[in-house]
Amino acid sequence: MQLIEFTDKGLFCRAGNFYIDPWKPVDYAIITHAHSDHAKWGSKNYLCHTLTKPLLQARLGDNVYETVEWNESKTINGVKVSLHPAGHIIGSSQIRVEYNNEVWVASGDYKVADDGLSGAFEPVKCNAFITESTFGLPIYNWKDQELIFENMRNWILANKALNKASIIIAYSLGKAQRILKALEDFDETIYMHGATYNMHMALINANIPLPKINAERVTPETPKEKLKECIVIAPPGAEGSSWQKKFSPYAVGVCSGWMQVRGNVRRKNVDGAFALSDHADWNGLLQAIKATEAEKVYVTHGYQSVFSRYLNEQGIWSAEVKTEYGEEDEEKVTDEVI
Amino acid sequence: MKEFAELVTFLGASTKTLEKQEALVNYFSLADDRDKVWVIALFSGRRPRRLVNSSLLPQWCIEIRNIPGWLFSECYGSVGDTAETIALLLPEATEQNAQSSLSFYIEKLISLEKENEFIKRDFITACWRSMNKDERFVFNKLLTGNFRIGISQKQMVNALAKTIKLEPSVIAHRISGNWDPATTSFNELLSENTGIVDYSKPYPFYLAYALEENPETLGEANEWQAEWKWDGIRGEIIKRNNQLFVWSRGEELMTEKFPEYAMFQQKLPEGVALDGEIISLTNANALTNKFTILPFALLQTRIGRKNITAKQLKESPVGFIAYDLLEFEGEDFRNKTLDERRTVLEKIIAEVNEPVLRLSPIIPFTNWDELAATRATSREINAEGIMLKRKTSIYQVGRKVGDWWKWKIDPLTIDAVMIYAQKGSGRRSTLYTDYTFAVKDEDRLVPFTKAYSGLTDKEFAQVDNFVKRNALEKFGPVRTVKPELVFEIAFEGIAASNRHKSGVALRFPRIKRWRKDKKADEINTLDDLKKMLEVYGK
């Protein structure tokens, strides 16, 4: 019997009788991070990192939440469980599970580079490692965050020179906070779409330290003059919607790892493209896997077949696993309160 | 090279025509003359001859990056472009960029043409080491293919017109035809007083917009001339300096491809340019101007072949249906009215008196309703609809609104279910956007066509999501999917084909709409397709 089984409800630890990131309601769910494809509604008990709890509350409402700090152990039905930073978004954690001297790590989503906000990814030694593969192709190599931020600032300045507003498309949880660091120097109000603003305030109310900026929500009452040449952050669902009209003339920039490929930039028809990702790039994935010294690597959401085949050819035992991760709901939030 | 790479990156990403125009104007004002000549050449489809076999670049890239060959293929599958895949895979530049010009690289590449593979590899990989991602992409494009980067030749011509004192139409004419960027200077190409005469130089085609409104919006019927819209290849036949030149719409010189036209070199008067349709036809009669159009599929068997066999010449005889006269006795006729041009055209064709050269018949009509009834019969004679040309119009350059309209017949349609999906290329490289569709044949599904276009980006995203969740098997890049999504497929024609399982080949298949209201068991049958073949495919 594997310590963690891949069932139709999610990753299941039979010995401990708990699930990790289940996509169906269960009795006991350990949550790696608060993105909607990993943290689903309806379970009776949730265990997560202290910083994840307010985010789950904002997204899933009131539930039974139990929290732990990173590297704090907890025993569930005789199985030792601990959380370790995954570097993906605020609170994101890898779940270490130990039983009968066997260690498994479910990493959820992760990135190896430290973004200064999400906690630095911690390599955890284990026998079996469950890894994502969102960007599991060698064409994905991220540039240093500072370089991307520099490009973004230059893009905003160029827009201002043409009297245009800059609409930056970023996931409201994770990316939106990350790019605030790039915008700190502008010393002006950063406008936010309702969805972005709600998440921003949820984080501030939970005392999570964010870059010091003055954020303001865009409402139907916000006078158009105030929005001239402004900087505004909005979720992917707002891109291309009539909500943008308020900012005319404007330019749209998208922050996503997918922007590395020209085809995606052209398909999205955007003015600015920033290959900024909260997932590990190819080398990041390989580096993380090697550091675990795992004998077995299970590859989930992304390029699992390609990445798994490559690992096997490199002498690392690997298998692909089908999960329901990798589909953030945010693309659909177009009509979320403005 | 840096400036050119920036221009290409900008043009590739920009969504606004005006901004693209500005970027081009800006580039043309600053670039040196040699670079400009090459940019004009590249953007009008004249790339230098391929220096290395197309499999060598991926191979070198694979060696440098130290990855297995199949992994390169997977990356290509995701990016959709060899030049870009390589640019993304190569490690960051390790050497200082010497900042050489675009023309330096191209001319260096040409000079290495006769050298062995190792010398070429040394040069190319050294370039890679000193370039950033955008420069590599552009450099690889020079090595591998066309610059299809989202600007039309017309936009480039307009940008040039802003930087030099020539009319856009003059520029368009100058840069068309047979010139070699390696030996042509900017001044030779675009100055008013050039001593070099290019006898082959075609006139740019005047292109029609599709008529979406009721034709009554065009005004009085008697101001318009109606002709059939033929389904062949737009072509221009030129005789100058006692030489014959045949150009296709893609500005490709195709004189040798149509031996049937060779006689025009004798028969046509000196100094003429005819605009018309290259098309397969039979039973042609020079006296009555009667002829029978053969399906486009037959012509297609001849295009793209280097050598045309006697069998093809017999089975797919090609003629030319002339509909306009652009030059007569060496004089540019384009500013005369259609009526004036047509009168002279008729005389020329009568004098040539050969079945191969036909006059595009004028369709008589006195009111729009009458013409609409005639249009409905288009398919019976293998025409695509009707062309409307204002009798007083001059022959313009490119696609212009107002005087020429194509009034096409409604396409044929059939409801089908999607059974395979594959990722697209270029801007659709990470989405499943290329679909194969099937019709029913009792209890089995028979694939009969692929279609690549017709959905909105939003719909493509939804179908892509469906494919990802409902993939049953995979064969290389192809996924078989649960036969569930029904689409209405529109197409312009249907022909018998023994290369397809279904026995039919469609012309211009595309998705007309997503039939969310239909279930997979409500689609059309193979018998329905065969009936269409019976009616329209003969």
Residue to test with chain A: of B88, B430, B453, B473, most A Cβ within 10 A: B88
CATH of A5-139+278-335, one of 3.30.565.10, 3.60.15.10, 3.20.20.10, 3.30.1960.10: 3.60.15.10
Rounded distance between C-alpha atoms, residue B425 and residue B71, angstroms: 17
The DSSP letter of residue B183 is T
Choose among B142, B139, B121, B141: nearest CA to B131: B139
Q: Which tens digit of pLDDT belongs to each residue from B163-202?
A: 887 777 678 777 876 788 888 888 888 876 655 567 888 8
Residues of B in contact with A138 (CB under 8 A): 65, 67, 71, 75, 89
Mean pLDDT of A183-209: 92
Structure tokens at A271: 């003015």
Provide the shortest C-alpha distance from residue A166 to chain B (in Å).
15
Interface contact flag, B85 A139, Cβ < 8 Å: yes
Contact A266 B150 (CB under 8 A): yes
Nearest CA in chain B to A138: B89
Quote ipTM for the complex: 0.92
Enumerate residues 6+ apart whose C-beta is below 8 A from B403. B389, B390, B393, B394, B396
Query: What was the pLDDT predicted at A29?
Result: 97
Residues of B in contact with A258 (CB under 8 A): 430
**Residue in chain B nearest A136 by alpha carbon:** B75
Q: Could you give the percent of chain A with pLDDT greater than 90? A: 80
> What is the CA B538 to chain-centroid distance, rounded?
26
Is A139 close to B150, i.e. CB distance below 8 A? Answer: no
Q: Which of B229, B336, B440, B530 is catalytic?
A: B229
Question: What fold does the segment set A145-274 form as a domain?
Answer: Rossmann fold (3.40.50)
Q: Where are the domains of chain B?
A: 2-144, 206-408, 412-536
DSSP annotation string for B407-421? EEPPPEEEEEEEEEE
A327 touches chain B (CB under 8 A): yes
Q: Name the CATH superfamily housing domain B206-408.
A: DNA ligase/mRNA capping enzyme (3.30.470.30)
Tell me phi and psi for residue A93, to 5 degrees.
-135, 150
Q: Mean pLDDT across chain A, nearest whole number?
A: 92
Is the pLDDT reported for residue A214 higher than 90?
yes
**Widest Cα–Cα separation across chain B:** 73
C-alpha dihedral (A236, A242, A248, A252), degrees to nearest 10 = 20
Does the beta carbon of A118 lie under 8 angstroms from any beta carbon of chain B?
A: no
- What's the pLDDT at B407? 94
Q: What is the pLDDT of residue B192?
A: 62
Cα A242 to Cα A239, A246, A248, distances in angstroms: 9, 8, 11
Burial A18-32 (b: 16+ CB within 10 A, else e): bbbbbbeebebbbbb
Chain B residues near residue A327 by CB distance under 8 angstroms? 465
Among A267, A273, A306, select the one facing B427 at the smallest CB separation: A267
Q: Measured between beta carbons, which residues in chain B are less than 8 angstroms from residue A331?
A: 461
A136 and A299 in contact (C-beta within 8 Å)?
yes
**Alpha-carbon gap, residue A70 to A97, rounded angstroms:** 13
Helix (H) or strand (E) holding B493: strand B493-496
Residue B201 designated active-site: no
State whether B430 and A261 contact (CB < 8 Å).
yes
The pLDDT value given to residue B81: 87
Nearest by CB to B78, from A139, A271, A313: name it.
A139
Give the pLDDT band (50/70/90) at residue A329: very low
3-state secondary structure B64-117: HHCCCHHHHHHHHHHHCCHHHHHHHHCCCCCCCCCCCCHHHHHHHHHHCCCCCH
Mean pLDDT across A299-324: 92
Tokens of A267: 């398909």
Chain B touched by A154 (CB under 8 Å): no
Peptide bond into B215 cis (omega under 30): no
Asked if the Cβ–Cβ distance from A263 to B71 is below 8 Å, we say no
Residue A87 has pLDDT above 80, yes or no: yes
Nearest residue of chain B to residue A273 (CA atoms): B13
Determine the Cα–Cα distance for residues B76 and B141; give it in Å rounded to an integer: 15
Give the three-class secondary structure for A303: coil
Q: Is the pLDDT of residue A124 over 80?
A: yes
HSE (side-chain half, CA atoms, 13 Å) at B30: 12
Residues of A in contact with B428 (CB under 8 A): 263, 267
CB contact under 8 A, A266 and B457: no
Q: What is the pLDDT of residue A333?
A: 37
A232 near A166, Cβ under 8 Å?
yes
| 3-state secondary structure (DSSP) of residue B516 | coil
For B187, list phi and psi in degrees, rounded to 5: -70, -40
List, as one string, the DSSP characters of A92-139: -EEEEEEETTEEEEE--S--SS--SSS--------SEEEEEETT-STT
Number of A–B residue contacts, CB under 8 Å: 73
Contact B13 A270 (CB under 8 A): yes
Q: Is A307 on the interface with B (CB under 8 A)?
A: no
Fold of B412-536: OB fold (Dihydrolipoamide Acetyltransferase, E2P) (2.40.50)
Binary contact (B75, A139; C-beta < 8 A):
yes
Of B15, B65, B465, the CB nearest to A138: B65
Q: Is A264 within 8 Å of B15 when comparing Cβ atoms?
A: no
CB contact under 8 A, A265 and B13: yes
Q: Do B75 and A141 touch (CB under 8 A)?
A: no
Q: Is A299 on the interface with B (CB under 8 A)?
A: no
Q: State the nearest Cα–Cα gap between B430 and chain A, in angstroms.
A: 7
What does the alpha-carbon distance between residue A135 and residue A288 come to, in Å, rounded to a whole number?
Answer: 14
Type of residue at B202 = P
Mutate to test the interface with B, among A164, A265, A267 (most CBs of B within 10 A): A267
What stretch(es) of chain A map to CATH 3.60.15.10? 5-139+278-335
* Dihedral in degrees, nearest 10, Cα atoms B344, B349, B352, B353: -140
In chain A, CATH 3.40.50.10890 sits at 145-274
B472 Cβ under 8 Å from any chain A Cβ: no
Q: Over 50: is that where the pLDDT of A336 sits?
A: no
Query: Hunting for tokens 């603003």 — which residue is that?
Result: A197
**What pLDDT score was predicted for residue A334?**
33
Q: In the Cβ-directed half-sphere of B458, how many Cα atoms lie within 13 Å?
A: 9
Cα separation, B386 vs B285, in Å, equals 22
Q: Tell me the pairing of strands B331-332 and B318-328.
A: antiparallel
pLDDT < 50: residue spans in chain B: none
Can you read off the two tokens belonging to residue B350?
A: 């009568």
Residue A111 pLDDT > 90: yes
Q: Which residues of B touch A309 (CB under 8 A)?
A: 70
Query: What pLDDT, on the 0 to 100 scale, is given for residue A331?
Result: 41
**In this predicted structure, what is the pLDDT of residue B495?**
84
A261 touches chain B (CB under 8 A): yes
AA letter at B486: V
Cβ distance B74 to A271 less than 8 Å, yes or no, reads no
- Which among A64, A29, A39, A65 is positioned nearest to A50, based on CA atoms? A65
Alpha carbons B534 and B233: distance in angstroms, whole number = 25
Query: Coil, strand, or helix at residue B273?
Result: strand
What's this model's pTM, rounded to 2 decimal places? 0.72
Shortest CB distance from B13 goes to which of A273, A310, A313?
A: A273
> Is B152 within 8 Å of chain A by CB?
no
Tell me which chain B residues have a C-beta less than 8 angstroms from the C-beta of A310. 68, 71
CATH number of the structural domain B2-144: 1.10.3260.10
A309 to chain B nearest CA, in Å? 9
Q: Of A266, A273, A309, which is closest to B427 when you measure between CB atoms?
A: A266
Nearest Cα residue to A109 out of A137, A135, A128, A80: A135
Strands (E), chain A: 5-6, 11-13, 18-20, 28-30, 45-49, 64-68, 74-76, 79-85, 93-99, 102-106, 128-133, 165-169, 190-192, 215-217, 231-234, 250-255, 272-274, 296-302, 317-320
Gap from A271 CA to chain B (nearest CA, Å): 6
**Local structure of A235: helix, strand or coil:** coil
Q: Is A306 on the interface with B (CB under 8 A)?
A: yes
- Smallest CA–CA distance, residue A146 to chain B, in Å, is 17
pLDDT score for B535: 79
Which residue out of A262, A281, A327 would a mutagenesis test of the B interface target, given it has the greatest number of B Cβ atoms within 10 Å? A262
Please give the pLDDT value at position B425. Answer: 63
DSSP assignment of B292-361? EEPPHHHHHTTTT-SS--HHHHHHS-EEEEEEEEEEETTEE-TTS-HHHHHHHHHHHHHHH--TTEEE-P
Alpha-carbon radius of gyration of chain A: 20
B17 vs A: CB within 8 A: no
Beta bridge partners of B225: B389
Q: Are B188 and B194 in contact (CB under 8 A)?
A: yes
Test mutation, B71, B428, B459, chain A, max A CBs within 10 A:
B71
- Chain A residue with Cα closest to B460: A267
Instruction: Give yes or no for A158 touching B (CB within 8 A).
Output: no
